[in-house]
């Protein structure tokens, strides 16, 4: 797959962690006059990402939108993309590329049998599943006439159970199945479910400090102490390599360690 194309690029959770590194490294590859549209809650974090992108590729346009994706509605995504694409000739681009990176780990202090609060489940799924589907629907509608690439940042926890990770696993499993169905239905769209492995981010720090599973806490602590935990740079490089090599079938789950 040739990523050096004139691209409309959308990424959520772009202010820190894997999302920030993916935004920078993807934009490094795009042709001049490409357009990057970045979402996250932190305005200052988005501006920092934007500045780092321009430092590596000043020939593209970067637009940032600080939004609370845990509260956003379908209408807000519609209006925001309408604003971002005002005056843009969509069909002049060679590819539309979206990375669904936004995510939260959920409540890791409780076991599955303790997670009975419906409002908490709704809040978790709004950020991690419902909003993702809403944005992807808008993406598919707006770019129906050009080639599309969809990357969903998933997790091994979505296909294998881990203690204390019931919320996280349920959200990742639901989200990944949505994208697998999308790949089955939309033959002209390439879909990758990429599992980045255990990465040194705020999310894994939460698991290390708060998980009710001693095994998980110790596992992350040991990984950090021995410096075997992955960096955002390592997992981003692997994700881009997977895309460039293009040996996967659309909709596949590909893990960093595959």
Residue 125 parent element (H or E): helix 118-125
Distance of alpha carbon 252 from alpha carbon 111, whole angstroms: 29
CA distances from 212 to 46, 114, 163, 170, 206 (A): 33, 12, 8, 17, 11
**pLDDT (tens digit, 9 = 90+) per residue, 191-231?**
999 999 999 999 999 999 999 999 999 999 999 999 999 99
Adjacency order of strands within the sheet including 35-40: 61-66, 35-40, 7-12, 95-100, 148-153, 189-195, 253-255
pLDDT tens digits along 51-79 = 999 999 999 999 999 999 999 999 999 99
Question: What is the reported pLDDT for 196?
Answer: 98
Q: Which CATH class is domain 7-198+232-247?
A: alpha beta
**The pLDDT value given to residue 242:** 98
pTM of the full structure: 0.96
**Which residues of the chain form beta strands (DSSP E)?**
7-12, 35-40, 61-66, 95-100, 148-153, 189-195, 253-255
Label residue 128 by pLDDT band (50, 70, 90): very high
- What tokens were used for 241? 């390599």
pLDDT-derived band of residue 239, with 50, 70 and 90 as boundaries?
Answer: very high
Domain range summary for the chain, segments of one domain joined by +: 7-198+232-247
The string of pLDDT tens digits covering residues 79-94 is: 999 999 999 999 999 9
pLDDT of residue 184: 98
Average pLDDT on 235-258 reads 98
**Band of residue 126 on the pLDDT scale cut at 50, 70, 90:** very high
Which two three-digit tokens encode residue 106? Answer: 């959920």
Whole-number average pLDDT of the chain? 97
pLDDT of residue 258: 93
């Amino acid at each position: 797959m040739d990523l050096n194309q004139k691209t409309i690029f959308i990424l959520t959770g772009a202010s820190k962690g894997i999302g920030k590194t993916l935004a920078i490294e993807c934009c490094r590859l795009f042709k001049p006059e490409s357009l990057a549209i970045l979402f996250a809650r932190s305005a200052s974090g988005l501006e920092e990402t934007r500045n780092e992108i321009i430092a590596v590729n000043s020939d593209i346009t970067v637009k940032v939108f600080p939004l609370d994706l845990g509260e956003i509605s379908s209408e807000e995504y519609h209006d925001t993309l309408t604003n971002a694409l005002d005056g843009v000739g969509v069909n002049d681009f060679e590819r539309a590329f979206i990375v669904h990176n936004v995510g939260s780990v959920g409540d890791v202090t409780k076991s599955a049998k303790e997670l009975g609060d419906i409002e908490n489940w709704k809040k978790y799924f709004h950020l991690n599943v419902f909003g993702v589907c809403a944005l992807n629907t808008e993406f598919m509608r707006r770019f129906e006439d050009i080639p599309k690439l969809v990357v969903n940042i998933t997790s091994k926890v979505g296909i294998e159970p881990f203690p204390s990770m019931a919320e996280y696993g349920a959200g990742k499993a639901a989200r990944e199945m949505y994208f697998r169905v999308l790949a089955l239905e939309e033959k002209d769209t390439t879909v990758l479910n990429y599992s980045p492995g255990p990465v040194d981010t705020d999310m894994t720090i939460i698991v290390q400090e708060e998980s009710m599973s001693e095994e998980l806490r110790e596992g992350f602590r040991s990984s950090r102490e021995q410096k075997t935990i992955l960096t955002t740079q390592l997992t981003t490089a692997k994700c881009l390599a997977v895309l460039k090599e293009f040996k996967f079938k659309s909709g596949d789950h590909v893990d960093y360690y595959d």
